[in-house]
Amino acid sequence: MSSHPAPALPNARRVATARAALSTASAVRADMPVISDFAVIDLLADLRHFCAARHIDFAACDATAQSHFDTEISGGRS
């Protein structure tokens, strides 16, 4: 495993990746293909299960993700 962080994706690509993850999660569950709050909630719950099974601190990951999001959404301005 590389110790270098992955290169940052442009925001449009990040949104497309998130939509693809939500669509895939909905399809796996055989839900309606509409992306809704419930699809986001189910995906987050699945991520919590993933983290619990692998002893990953979801709250710490979420806090770091929020920090990254804040930086990205502001265009890198603090």
Alpha carbons within 13 angstroms on the beta-carbon side of residue 74 total 9
Residue 38 has a pLDDT of 78
Among 17-26, 31-40, 45-54, the range of highest mean pLDDT: 45-54
Q: Indicate the average pLDDT of the chain.
A: 77
Residue (of 21, 49, 54, 26) closest to 38 by Cα position: 26
The structural domains of the chain, with segments of one domain joined by +, span: 34-78
- pTM for the whole structure: 0.61
